[in-house]
Structure 1
């Protein structure tokens, strides 16, 4: 990178340090910001920008247009512009810039397709693992906890032994933005956790991680993804099984059974209700029955 690029990215490093230390964002989120800012710096360096104070809306639109020509999807371009906008907002708050030149740049709209869920019968088929070898017991416990509590993958792998309250059937997890929440996980999940914890010491665990690999280390997210996919095939599930699909299935089944959007929001750890509304969906038949039962005009003609 040139001297100009170094000067631009040095300011980015200060921002990333702010996100890590003061905002305490997750390593994955910081990594995403770093990757986007790296590309942004490279583009503006090639455009002969030597200081962020020289940045203009015209240059930002030029970057957006070049990204589109390079085949960047609308959702990825929106992420890039959002990263830049947040970074420039921080500079304004620090008195490093007078105004944010990205404020007036429209973010491309991208459709948000609903994640596909696994139906209840297929979930039961997936979870009917009844083997007693340690790895199978561990994987069944992970699947039960993931589906039983609607956890994110990062939340699952970061559970420590002290985070479990097996008597009450609860687990403490650390969600996005370092927000803790306590979740019920269900009787079956507790039973398989108990079985797994009895076998866990066979792997000589290095720390307090509940779920460990064969080497005794905290299991990685990639390992969990791989194991879930393998069990999907072994159990005859016709759709690809991955952690996010289990989380979405949990949310969908809970919402279809209860209709309580706010409760599902709390269980999922969503900051905004609108996120839950997009993330979960009710089948039309259920929506229609709610409408028929609740709407005054729907009830007017009934005897």
Structure 2
């Protein structure tokens, strides 16, 4: 096998993964494309596949990255190349794996998913016809509190109807404040807006219909405290019935709350306090969401925004 050319090496390896390793046809197809890329790069560099060095691979990674290939996509390509050189080593055709110590660029931290203001209002204003009136009133209140206060799902389910020595959290209607137990068992108070307070009053009036003996603020059909999973299911269903294109989960409403307060106020420190973040660094991710909002507004409104992007030479 010492005298075979690069194309024959690739074909022999693909036969190995297809027959000996019994990889799926889709995986073999991906390997075929990745190895074709490797062979083309090697040919352009004027080296055979068996003469490729780590410096070559790093240069090709940099080229893929600058061309817009995602970090995950590059990592998958490198995985395929690495396996190829492992096999070559077992055949005695290479003495070292040039891909062994090469890593893909770090993936950027994804932005939290947040709804636009119009979508948030659309969800909050939705009325589900035909549902149990008490449950509809409860779900509307849950939606208003998640979006209006930025509560975590654990903080929401921990709310009781009234303050007590054992309550993890409660809402002071008169003061318009929610008192919650957040991460690290840290207590904080969050203002509750007018719409959420009105929704809460409607829910408190409807709650006796469920014959709840549990002190929990939010209870189900059998009068027991709702679980986080139950709320996730109900909120996802509600968002789809409200006509939103994206299924909504509770933390998305927390992200929406933070993003919209920051867009309106520009006060990052206040958003940190409202969310109960121990570090301002955790809150700073919302400045990226805020910039996206500004960029969209610019693209839509500025007469010179069309075709915005790098100048073409």
Q: Tell me the equivalent position of 2:159.
A: 159
Q: Tell me the equivalent position of 1:142.
A: 142
What's the CA shift for 1:282? 1.2
Q: CA RMSD in A?
A: 2.3
> 1:19-67: per-residue Cα shift (whole Å, max 9, x none)?
xxxxxxxxxxxxxxxxxxxxxxxxxxxxxxxxxxxxxxxxxxxxxxxxx
Q: Tell me the equivalent position of 2:67.
A: none
Paired with 1:249 and 1:285, the residues of 2 have a C-alpha distance of: 12
State the SS of the aligned residue for 2:125.
Answer: coil
Paired with 2:248 and 2:293, the residues of 1 have a C-alpha distance of: 26
What's the CA shift for 1:245? 0.5
Paired with 1:284 and 1:171, the residues of 2 have a C-alpha distance of: 30
| 2:291 is the counterpart of 1:283 | yes
What's the CA shift for 1:169? 1.4
> 1:171-229: per-residue Cα shift (whole Å, max 9, x none)?
10100000000111200100110111111112122321100011111001000000000
Ranges in structure 1 where 5+ consecutive residues have no aligned partner: 1-72, 74-107, 290-303
Match of 2:108 among 100, 108, 111: 111
On the 8 A contact 1:129/1:136 being kept in 2, the answer is no
Relative to structure 1, is the Cα distance of residues 110 and 194 closer, same or farther in structure 2, using a 3 angstrom cutoff? Answer: same
Paired with 2:249 and 2:225, the residues of 1 have a C-alpha distance of: 19
What is the aligned residue count?
A: 183
Q: Tell me the equivalent position of 2:273.
A: 266
Paired with 2:263 and 2:286, the residues of 1 have a C-alpha distance of: 13
Q: TM-score, normalised by structure 1?
A: 0.57
Structure 1 residues 278-287 or 221-230, which shifts more?
A: 278-287
Ranges in structure 2 where 5+ consecutive residues have no aligned partner: 1-71, 73-104, 163-169, 298-313
State the SS of the aligned residue for 2:222.
Answer: coil
State the SS of the aligned residue for 1:130.
Answer: coil
Structure showing greater radius of gyration is 2
State the SS of the aligned residue for 1:161.
Answer: coil
Q: TM-score, normalised by structure 2?
A: 0.55
